Chains A and B, each alone.
Chain A
Amino acid sequence: MPDSDTLAFADRPAGSVGVVTPHVARFDTPLALACGKVLPAYELIYETYGTLNADRSNAVLICHALSGHHHAAGYHSEEDRKPGWWDAHIGPGKAIDTNRFFVVSLNNLGGCHGSTGPVSHNPDTGRQWGPEFPMVTVSDWVASQARLADHLGIERWAAAVGGSLGGMQVMQWTMTYPERVANAVVIAATPRLSAQNIAFNEVARQAIRSDPEFFDGWYAEHDTVPKRGLKLARMVGHITYLSEDAMGSKFGRDLRSDDLNFGFDVEFQVESYLRYQGDTFSTAFDANTYLLMTKALDYFDPSATQGGDLAKALAPAQCPFLIVSFTTDWRFPPSRSRELVDALIRAGKAVSYANIDSPHGHDAFLLSEPRYDAIFSAFMNRAAGELNLAEVGKDEASEDATSSEETP
């Protein structure tokens, strides 16, 4: 049984899971992908937080978004200043309370943070997978996540939880493995991308693919990376993650220096910010992975096989859903979450929906906001109650008390 990865560290912030160490699981059973290709073997890197209970009923799956990864909470070392990407919601006393839940967070197939992907070695060719890494879809990810669950001995998730592209994986779980999900939380997501969403993704892809350093995806063999393309892709993406208001209040028309310089160097603060975001990303993320992830987004449409009827596609789902959107999210606006909600209602599923007032656009799903935290916690607490999950420490304590009473 996997123990918690978390170690106590002296001055860890309250509500943090502390220092965590990733694990790697290897799978040698071939995985048939939606694109028709077969991945003969693969590895998934994952982290866990909290303690798996004796009957393995308290596991929560975290599904990551476009540029996310397995490091969702805690720190990788005591010197590490930046916690995992969803630390706002995972930890002791937080919405996904690690005192009760055992949290599993992985890097998806095709990722560039340790799971098998374009940067991995292709045993058939002896070179890096690069652009030859097969196209992976949300369904493929869910199939691989199910194998990770098997590997960990988890028959049924207490909850599958995800934001944005992560929310799509949660939807897919409820349709593909309805009996293996007790609760589903889908945040700032959409049941399928709009033409505008696909258009933005295509701009990002073209930025990468037209970079002279891209070399048709074989940049690694040329000892380079398409930094400019990746930077542009991230800049475009980043604009869609923020709201107009958030950008306005953060940067306005502020200049970096006092005067206009009538040139094309950075003048406005917002330009500086976007360039910085792009630069940071362009050295930290793999271009082929970015291309794959955006295609997975574009392809996701569970209603497609049901003549466009999303309610019909969701018919197999069995669990209660919590759907959350944010008022200023224009990437996946509230109306898109509402489409999902309406389909779930038409399908007669248990579903609750909240549209949270936040100025932070799509990025709001990553942040803490009192109302968001409250409804997320309320849903997870009810889930824990219905599954009879005690706080793991307390549960053990009460067992000890019982056994000591029985012992003469």
Chain B
Amino acid sequence: MMRADLELIYDWVPEGAHVLDLACGDGELLETLANNKGVTGYGLEIDHDGINACVARGVSVIEHNLDDGLSSFCDNSYDQVIMTQALQALRRPDKMLDEMLRVAEEGIITFPNFAYWRHRVHLGLRGYMPVSKSLPHAWYDTPNIHLSTFNDFEHLCREKGLMIVDRAVGVGDHQGHWKSRLWPNLFGEIAIFRVRRR
């Protein structure tokens, strides 16, 4: 059983696609895609345990810091670039979005939605930086330096002239619930986007 946001992404990756998985973790998504859909490609990761887990399961993984960009990957060399739960930890998420859509025509991105209602309660009513399942760190040691919301990301995509193919809400109690479909920026804990170059 995969993480809920990975289940969703799994459905969005076409059979036989060549993909790049940025921050691929333990390689579970790539392995499942390879076994069931004949998907090929590489994972990039910096976490040592994640890299080991990938190697142990036969997933091709490259130790690579995403802040160094994707310059070693050629234009249009992949069908999709996937990046789960890493956008918010990058030095320049906007530049990475450019890079992703240089390397592939389509990108799948997930990140914690800072405008989730619980986060709003933390900050708006209690006056503290939010700490939650999706944002488990304290403000001083968090790797998440560029937090954003559904609205922020859509705004960035509009500015860059990108097409939003799909948008979904992942993880949390409200997944698939009518409220999160209707008001994702308020009730969606994890934002999932599928974007494409025009």
Task: Give the number of residues in B that approach A within 8 Å (Cβ atoms).
Answer: 20
Most chain A CB within a 10 A radius of its CB, from B48, B51, B52, B62: B62
Q: Assess whether A31 is interfacial by the CB under 8 Å rule.
A: no
CA distance A338 to B63 in the complex (A): 10
Query: B63–A342 contact, CB under 8 A?
Result: no
The interface-forming segment of A67-75, A214-222, A379-387 is A379-387
Nearest CB of chain B from residue A61's CB, rounded to whole Å = 20
Q: Which of A342, A352, A355, A371 contacts B54 (CB 8 A)?
A: A352
Given A352-B51, A374-B52, A378-B52: A386 touches B58 (CB 8 Å cut-off)? yes
Number of A interface residues at 8 Å Cβ cutoff, please give it: 22
Q: Hey, what's the 0/1 contact readout for A318-360 against B, CB within 8 Å counting as 1?
A: 0010100000000000000010011001101011111100000
- Judged by a CB distance under 8 angstroms, whether B60 is at the interface is yes
Query: What separation, in Å, do the CA atoms of A379 and B52 have in the docked complex?
Result: 8
Among residues of A, the one whose C-beta sits closest to the C-beta of B42 is A345
Tell whether, in the assembled complex, residue A379 and residue B55 are in contact, meaning their CB atoms are under 8 Å apart.
Answer: yes
Q: Which residue of A lies closest to B73 (CB)?
A: A345
Given contact pairs A342-B72, A345-B72, A351 touches B60 in the complex (Cβ within 8 A): yes
Residues of A with C-beta under 8 A to B179: none
Closest Cβ–Cβ distance, residue A328 to chain B (whole Å): 16
A375 contacts the other chain (Cβ, under 8 Å)? yes
Instruction: Give the chain B neighbours of A348 by CB distance below 8 A.
Output: 40
The reply to whether A378 and B56 contact each other, CB–CB distance below 8 Å, is yes
Checking B48, B55, B63 against A382 with a beta-carbon cut-off of 8 angstroms, the contacting residue is: B55
Q: Check if B177 is an interface residue, CB within 8 A of chain A.
A: no
Q: Which of A98-132 contact B (CB under 8 A)?
A: none
Closest CB in chain B relative to A350 CB, distance in Å: 5
B125 partner residues in chain A, CB cutoff 8 A: none
A381: chain B residues at CB < 8 Å are 56
Q: Which residue on chain A has the smallest CB distance to residue B59?
A: A352
**Which residues on B sit within 8 Å (CB–CB) of A378?**
52, 55-56
Interface residues of B in 45-75 (CB under 8 A from A): 48, 51-52, 54-64, 72-74
Is A322 in contact with B55, judged by CB distance below 8 angstroms?
Answer: yes
**Contact across chains for A375 and B55 when beta carbons are under 8 A apart:** yes
Q: Which residues of chain B come closer than 8 Å to A386, judged between CB atoms?
A: 58
Contact A382 B57 (CB under 8 A): yes
Contact A320 B62 (CB under 8 A): no
Interface on B for A, CB 8 Å cutoff? 40, 42, 48, 51-52, 54-64, 72-74, 77
